[in-house]
A and B are shown apart, each in its own frame.
Chain A
Amino acid sequence: MFGPLMINTWIAATAVAVIAGMTGFFAVLRGSTFAAHAIPNGAFAGAAGASLLGLNPFAGLAVFSLAGALGIAGLSRRARSDVATALTFVMMLGIGALFVSWSTGYAQEAYSLLFGEVFGISADQVRPILVLGALSVAAIGVMFRPLMFSSVLPEIAEARGVRARRMELAFLLIMALATSMTVPVVGALLMFSLMIGPAAAARSVTARPALAMTLSVAIALVTVWAAIAISYRSDWPLGFFVGVIGAGFFLLGRAYAAIARSARTAAARPAA
């Protein structure tokens, strides 16, 4: 399980979990989980297009995830953000369907883009993941305070000169960057599971931002490591375990929050 063939898998998966934990934290905090679903999934159309033209799928993913981020941000200026996201997303998938229908014998490759191909990843593939991952982490590090501010208190942030629109765009662009790196590894569908489950679990345990984000990364790491180990042993798909373990952590977090709340109420009213 820890042999030379698997070492790249562990490195790549760890990088993906760190970045998913961080971006997912903001996605959950801002309530923009739909964008977290739409950008990775829609970007898959770009990979389909790139393979049709014989280009590197990374390029296609990058172009389409950026286009998705810009589309969502652009349409959100004058429309509800969930509607903007939905329409950008279906348009990207519609184009993806067209690309797929044009190419021949693509189904297997598409499957691996949607569900990932984390086993058997090569050293060449790991390098761009690490570079893009470091970039995303750095971007989040630089923007942590204003992003946090505009996510939690948008009105006050706006009054203090933090432009909500610009922050939204910045957030979506980071999501796009993270996406073009992670989709070839874990797949579009799993990137989403890995972003939401751990971050939502962390959020229900603590409200302190730095702690919640650290916890979100930690849970994402545990989720992906456990999923790889079980998947390696059982031969069942990684995605299944990532999805189920992530949701399990969320339920645990919610249970913990409920117990903590009832303990607090009991402490506040000792007579009752």
Chain B
Amino acid sequence: MSIVNILRHIIEPGFFGSGPVHIALAVGTVIAITSAVTGVFTVTRGQSFAGHSLADISTTGGSGAFLIGVNQFWGYLAFGAGAAAFMEMIGIQRRRGRDVATGVVLGAALGLAALFLYLGTQYSTTTGATFTILFGSIFVITPSTVPALIVSALLALAVVVALARVLLLTSLSPDIAAARGVPVRAVGAAFLMALAVSVALSAMIIGAVLSTALLIGPAATALRITKGPVRAPAVAAGIGVAATWLGILLAYDSYYWPPAGRGWPVSFFVVTLIVGGYLVSYLRRPAARAEPVPDAEHACSAL
């Protein structure tokens, strides 16, 4: 009896009966798993900045699509994929040039974002749109887009899983991979494309902030705890899903919390949980293994 009562206190009544919560949990799970698995390779390859930029850029595409009256889904995907292609073209292969190339593409895209938002607010006075675009809102997903979302997310996940072995080889030792006849650049491009799709989808649903948190945080934590090529993505997915569920639950609970009395944002809870988890694994690691530059980075620097 008392356990039920305690649970009632933790889980606000109505949590499991709410339609938006069901959708948020379902979509959040798919996005968390896809992001975490893609994230393990993103972190190993040192492409965190690209991962974040693609989220920002695809939201620009979303607001552009909104302006011309196209389904936002396509705006997100088109801008994410286009930006990935651009970054690939202007030299994302070299490690140092990579972040600069990413930065230039992101800078131009942010300019476009300013324009789209300006034109958008010309026609409608909803400045709140700026905010939803940046921070997203997992509770306002339209049910009709859910199937298309899940299918694309699973597609991106499938590409990453199919490429997993070659990706790992090209990430850790590109020279050996090249010697073995692996098309290193093509593999990199394919991965970047899958990353773009996965990030664009998560940015559309949960906003650019959460998308980056779910991409990098669980993967980085998992890579600190474990190293296996199967175990790391599995652990990352577990962390991502746990943080998402707990975050949604806390956001639902926070509805009556001070000071505003209208709920704390999901993104805050999920980000805090993910960063907190990372910090625990970060501080736990003894100094012996705490090389500032893990071996993967040395291998990557030749990319």
Task: Choose, from A177-185, A189-197, A207-215, A262-270, the stretch at the interface.
Answer: A189-197
* Pair A240/B118 contact, Cβ less than 8 Å: yes
Instruction: Give the most central of B102, B108, B264: most A CB within 10 Å.
Output: B108
Q: Is A90 an interface position by the 8 A CB rule? A: yes
Q: Which 6 A-B pairs have the closest CB atoms?
A: A243-B111, A239-B114, A94-B271, A193-B107, A33-B103, A247-B108
Question: For residues 253 through 277 of chain B, which have their beta carbon under 8 Å from a beta carbon of chain A?
Answer: 259-260, 262-265, 267-268, 270-272, 274-275
- A91 B275 Cβ-Cβ under 8 A: yes
Most chain B beta-carbon contacts within 10 A, residue among A31, A33, A242: A33
The complex places the Cα of A115 from the Cα of B268 at a distance, in Å, of 22
A196 touches B48 (CB 8 A): no
Write 12 A-B pairs (CB below 8 A) sorted by A numbering. Answer: A33-B102, A33-B103, A34-B102, A37-B106, A80-B297, A82-B47, A83-B216, A110-B130, A115-B117, A193-B108, A240-B114, A242-B111
Report Cα–Cα, A115/B128, bound state, in Å. 15
Does more than half of chain B's interface fall in helix, strand or loop, or is it mixed? helix
Contact status A236-B112, CB under 8 Å: no
- How would residues 77 to 95 of chain A score, 1 for a CB under 8 Å from any chain B CB and 0 otherwise? 1111011011101110111
A90-B209, A189-B114, A193-B110 known; A101+B263 contact, CB < 8 A: yes
Chain B residues near A239 (CB-CB < 8 A): 110-111, 113-115
- Asked if B264 and A192 sit within 8 Å, CB to CB, the answer is no
- Say how far A157's CB is from chain B's closest CB, in angstroms: 16
Contacts of A80 in B (CB 8 A): 43, 46, 48, 220, 293-294, 297
Q: Does A246 contact B (CB under 8 A)?
A: yes
Question: Could you tell me how many residues of chain B have their Cβ less than 8 Å away from some Cβ of chain A?
Answer: 65
Q: Is A97 an interface residue (CB 8 A)?
A: yes
> Which of the residues A91, A94, A246 comes within 8 Å of B107, measured between beta carbons?
A246
| Chain A residues with a Cβ closer than 8 Å to the other chain, count | 58
Do A90 and B48 contact each other (CB < 8 Å), given the known contacts A31-B96, A196-B104, A247-B104? no
Closest to B111 in A: A243
Give the complex CA separation of A239 and B220 in angstroms: 33
**B87-131 to A contact mask, C-beta < 8 Å, 1/0:** 000100001101110111111111111110110000000011011
Distance from B246 Cβ to chain A, minimum over Cβ atoms (Å): 14
A91 touches B271 (CB 8 A): yes
**A240:B112 contact, CB within 8 angstroms:** yes
- Distance between Cα atoms of A242 and B112 in the complex (Å): 10
Q: Is the CB of B267 within 8 A of A94?
A: yes
